[in-house]
Structure 1
Amino acid sequence: MLYAIVAAVTALLLAALLAALLRVPALRAGLVDRRRARPVPLLGGLAVVLAVALVTWGCDWTGIAPIGDGVGELLAAASAVAVLGLAADAWRLRTRFLLAGTAIAAACVVPYDETGVPAGLLAVGWIVWTAAAFKGLDHADGLAGTVGVVTAFGVGACATAEVMDGLAVLLSVLAAALTGFLMHNWHPARSALGACGSLYAGFVLASAAVSTRAGHGFASSVGVLFALTVVASADVVLVVVSRRLAGRPLSRGGPDHLAHRLRRLGLTPQGAVVLLGAGGFSGVLVAVLAHNGWAGDSAVVWVAGGTAVVVLGLLKVPVYGVRRQLRRPVSSQVRTQLRVRNG
């Protein structure tokens, strides 16, 4: 336990330090997110990836906290996804290439011997879905990191219950690294995850969750996995439905995510993140209770129902404004002059 705490603290400090050091190279290389009011460096995600890799492999190499079988393969596949995301940050790769690469990596880490091939293929799709969903959460300062920390603790608790100590160490290190990154990503952000960090975090969390649920019932696993990632999943559903109803292409961005709509309702950037983080914690808590048999399947149904209500309610918030030509008000003096000219 003490070693895990030391590893987590090390990851937190290392991620915070690397995120600070990588800001200047990112600005000089033009690796910035221009969707925000000002350009934000994108190499914060690389800082998280490096911190997790260095601390996890360091703990395994020294024997302080061995990661065990399977975790090494997961880290290698996640690192490949991070490299793909870094390429997307640098060269704006098409979304289909990101999804295809993530799917190949996911196919390499799913435990087919425990899930079976049909369920394993569905697990691959879910890992890709979650990774893409976390990429979408990176649109708001502090959101992806906050939801990632909450989810990592939840999946880590499930891994601990299954006596997957190596996986639990990895998730605690990831949670700590994301916390260190949040020191630079809280509003106003000085660094962002980018596709590199957001895809990496989503991939690790989803793959670890699949491993912890392998061998459990299919229906109950679907409910637990959804509850663990309720905020990210709700954001994707909201965006897809909203753009379809508005007749907009799915690939066309817009201020239509969860945080955007909450801001429209009057919340501050920090308030929106705190509210969504609380929602994510509620889902994670239900998932952990259901995973350990302390709550029935009805609890997960309530999470799904509450999520549907929230999505339907936020769909009514207008986000696609229509441009209107502004007319200057005509002064009384100008009106008088016009009347004189026209007789």
Structure 2
Amino acid sequence: MLYGIAAATTALLLAAVLTALLRVPALRLGILDRRRRQRPVPLIGGVAVVLATGVVVIAGERTGVAPVGEGVGRLLVAAGAVALLGLVADLRRVKARVIVGGTTVAAASVVPYEETGVPAGLLAIGWIVFVAVAFKTLDHADSLAGTIGVVTAFGVGACAAAEVMDGHAVLLSVLAAALTGFLMHNWPPARVGLGACGSLFTGFVLAASAVTTRAGYGLGDSAGVLFPLTAVASADVLLVVLSRRLAGRPLLRGGPDHLAHRLRRLGLTPQGAIVLPAIGAFAGVLVAVLMHIGWTAQSGVFWVAAGTLVVVLLLLRVPVYGARRPVPTQAGRPLSTQAGGPPTQAGKPVSTQVGRSVSSQVSGHLRVRNG
């Protein structure tokens, strides 16, 4: 108990200090959020979270004060590989299939197949990848991914503690503390961003730990617990996919159509657009923990699913793409554009038609004046 408090405090302070120290080098090296054009925000917070979490957990293992076990060590190594892949994505553009493929390989190395079985293990791999990528998409607003990560880490940690899986409980409490230290610099307006490095790492650790905690339970019951733990991240993915499909936009094309973007358009402040999803995440996590320990019926997942669907359908009505530009017209007829040429009307260049019209008017005036 005392070590848990000391470890969490150390991780919080270490993450806060590392985030502050790494900010200036990141600015000088140009490791910036490419989506922000008005204010440079370095994407180095994820590195601080990964280092703080890893250092504290490894120190507890090496000193023998809090041995976390082989399973947690393997999970931490796989999560570190995913974080490294995310760091590369922060430094340069990486295709989505590369991120998904690398995360899939890492997820396949941490699933406990001896307890889940191969079919359920394959489903677990897909779910871990989905959650990791979903947390990456949650990093579209200051503090959102970090705040949701803290809430979810406490929920998964409570489930692990109920199963007497002390190593996972320690890992999750340290992760929650490290994210809290990072949030000191990431609260709107953010001075440092989490980036793909931190968001993929956070989602991967949370999902893999949750899968390990539920290993040995029935597939249906486990799905009923796992979904509420990540209801907000799932809602954001569903919202974006439906919105872009209905608008005829490519799924991988970015846009201001995520959860916090729509909440801002409804008039919420940047802080309010973080607090409201955090409350929703807390509600889902609470239902999941109560179902895991058997204090409430498994039917609670249907309430969470129904609430998630209602929120998605309501937010779909918020306009985010803007009106399309009107087609240029002349004399009530649309202008067509030839490939590589100027706009035309009835197959003739508009500039030629206008030039001839002006020339005829000038010639007419000259004939009148001369006559």
TM-score tier by shorter-chain length is: over 0.9
Q: Report the counterpart of residue 147 of structure 1 in structure 2.
A: 148
Matches within 5 A, 1:294-333: 294-322=295-323
SS state of the match for residue 70, structure 2? coil
Q: Report the counterpart of residue 7 of structure 1 in structure 2.
A: 7
How far does residue 27 in structure 1 lie from its aligned partner after superposition? 1.1
Aligned-partner Cα distance in 2 for 1:94–1:20: 30
Q: Report the counterpart of residue 29 of structure 1 in structure 2.
A: 29
Q: Report the counterpart of residue 75 of structure 1 in structure 2.
A: 76
Q: Report the counterpart of residue 338 of structure 1 in structure 2.
A: none
Aligned-partner Cα distance in 2 for 1:138–1:31: 16
Aligned-partner Cα distance in 2 for 1:107–1:245: 34
- 5+ long unaligned stretches in structure 2: 327-371
Aligned AA for 2:138? L
Deviations 1:32-57 (A, max 9, x none): 11323422110100000000000000
Q: Which has the higher contact order (CA 8 A, sep 6+)?
A: 1
How far does residue 160 in structure 1 lie from its aligned partner after superposition? 0.2
Q: Report the counterpart of residue 128 of structure 2 in structure 1.
A: 127
Aligned-partner Cα distance in 2 for 1:301–1:119: 21
Aligned-partner Cα distance in 1 for 2:130–2:82: 14
Q: Report the counterpart of residue 48 of structure 1 in structure 2.
A: 49
Aligned-partner Cα distance in 2 for 1:23–1:92: 21
How far does residue 14 in structure 1 lie from its aligned partner after superposition? 0.2
Q: Report which stretch shifted further, 219-228 or 145-154.
A: 219-228
Q: Report the counterpart of residue 89 of structure 1 in structure 2.
A: 90
SS state of the match for residue 196, structure 1? helix
- 5+ long unaligned stretches in structure 1: 326-343
Aligned-partner Cα distance in 2 for 1:265–1:251: 25
Aligned AA for 1:138? D
Aligned-partner Cα distance in 1 for 2:31–2:284: 34
How far does residue 239 in structure 1 lie from its aligned partner after superposition? 0.4
Deviations 1:51-107 (A, max 9, x none): 000000001111121111300000000000011110111111111100000000000
Count of residue pairs brought into register by the alignment: 325
Q: Report the counterpart of residue 99 of structure 2 in structure 1.
A: 98
Q: Report the counterpart of residue 351 of structure 2 in structure 1.
A: none
Aligned AA for 2:115? E
Does structure 1 residue 293 correspond to structure 2 residue 294? yes
Aligned-partner Cα distance in 1 for 2:53–2:325: 49
Q: Report the counterpart of residue 241 of structure 1 in structure 2.
A: 242
Q: Report the counterpart of residue 221 of structure 1 in structure 2.
A: 222
How far does residue 223 in structure 1 lie from its aligned partner after superposition? 1.5
TM-score (norm 1): 0.93
SS state of the match for residue 5, structure 2? helix
Q: Report the counterpart of residue 356 of structure 2 in structure 1.
A: none
Aligned-partner Cα distance in 1 for 2:323–2:253: 16
Aligned AA for 2:320? V
Which contiguous aligned blocks of 4+ residues in structure 1 show a shift greater than 3 angstroms? none
Q: Report the counterpart of residue 110 of structure 2 in structure 1.
A: 109
RMSD: 0.9
Q: Report the counterpart of residue 171 of structure 2 in structure 1.
A: 170
Q: Report the counterpart of residue 157 of structure 1 in structure 2.
A: 158
Deviations 1:188-219 (A, max 9, x none): 00111111000000000000000000011111
